Chains A and B, each alone.
Chain A
Amino acid sequence: MKEKIILGMKKSLPICIGYFPLGLAFGVIAQNYGMNPFEVGLMSILLFSGSGQFITVAMMTIGASFLTILITILLVNSRYMLFSAALSLHLKKFPSWLVGIITAGITDETFVVATTHFKENKPEASFWLALNVTSHLSWICSTILGAFVGNFIPNMETFGLNFALPAMFIALFFMTAENKLMVSTGIFAGIFSMFLINFGFTDSNILLATLVAATLGVVLKRWKAN
């Protein structure tokens, strides 16, 4: 069990490195908006979502209503529902309370790293929790740090830190694209997502592109099998 925990922490290390500049940037922006480190920390504990948190602060800044923010986050983070559904296949033997704790740590990054690991290993709660909790802690700490240091941090671009998120997603794409069909499905999803953004679906593009592309993927798979 101890080895599984250490393995989980090791696997979360690149996630932590990627989260650090993002979390720092979020803390700075939230502090500029007027949030204190406690509020930033609470938000990172409860939301644990880069996209969700940046959008929330951006919307508060322009004075969006409570309901508008809730609906937008529901759309922007709706991919977690799909991730959760996909993870149910690995959570079969776990009691509900454990499912609750594990799924609370779902992000794009922890989801892909966990599912990639479970392709060759049995789902282990200790590994999974270590991965999620370490990643979550790094997110919480870096956002709080950002809120404390505020504008004292140097220009992120000098260190390439602004590219941490795209670089992480590029790796996640290659980790999830196991075969040609998945690569094609992904490319279609990316292009369709661009198309939706172009037509103003900037909150729902990810969900819509995923729903359409995954359906296309299944249809192609069935069609090829026949």
Chain B
Amino acid sequence: MESKLIVLILALGAINFSMRFFPALILNKLDLPEVVRDWLSFVPVATIAALVLPMLLEWNGEIVNISLENKNLLAGIPAIISAGITKSLGITLATGMIAMALLQFI
């Protein structure tokens, strides 16, 4: 059982390392055409949005809960405002966490 877990961890580690390393290693040697570079420039914003929207809308096992019950959505509002103004990771993190902590008392 235990050695099986270690093998799984090693295999997952190898997969993650390969996914992180090889695209950079291979593309690093090539001059990418402009259209590909443009395409890659949209990857970060698209990925982050695809990750975060489900987090904000999900509540108590419901995929979409748009109501005052959904504390992720409520805490998200001040976090979005502070992120929009400051573009700062630290300030947004603090705003969001304080908002969420305050919501526990309501």
Residue ranges of A at the interface with B (Cβ–Cβ < 8 Å): 13-15, 17-18, 35, 39, 42-43, 45-49, 52, 56, 60, 66, 69-70, 73-74, 77-89, 91-92, 94, 96, 99-100, 103-104, 106, 108-109, 111-113, 115, 157-177, 182-183, 185-194, 197-198, 205-206, 209-210, 213-215, 217-218, 221-222
Known: A35-B5, A46-B10, A73-B15. A206 touches B24 (CB 8 A): no
Query: Size of chain B's interface in residues, with CB distance under 8 A?
Result: 72
> Across the interface, do A18 and B93 meet the contact criterion of CB distance under 8 Å?
yes
Give per-residue flags for B57-73: 1 if the beta carbon is below 8 A from chain A beta carbons, else 0: 10000011000000010
> Across the interface, do A206 and B55 meet the contact criterion of CB distance under 8 Å?
no
> Across the interface, do B42 and A170 meet the contact criterion of CB distance under 8 Å?
no
Residues of B contacting A221 in the complex (Cβ-Cβ under 8 angstroms) = 38
Residues of A contacting B84 in the complex (Cβ-Cβ under 8 angstroms) = 174
Bound CA span A153–B99, Å: 21
Q: How far is the CB of A225 from chain B (nearest CB, A)?
A: 10
Q: How far is the CB of B80 from chain A (nearest CB, A)?
A: 6
> Across the interface, do B16 and A170 meet the contact criterion of CB distance under 8 Å?
no
Bound CA span A35–B33, Å: 47
A77, A175, A182: which contacts B19 (Cβ < 8 A)? Answer: A77
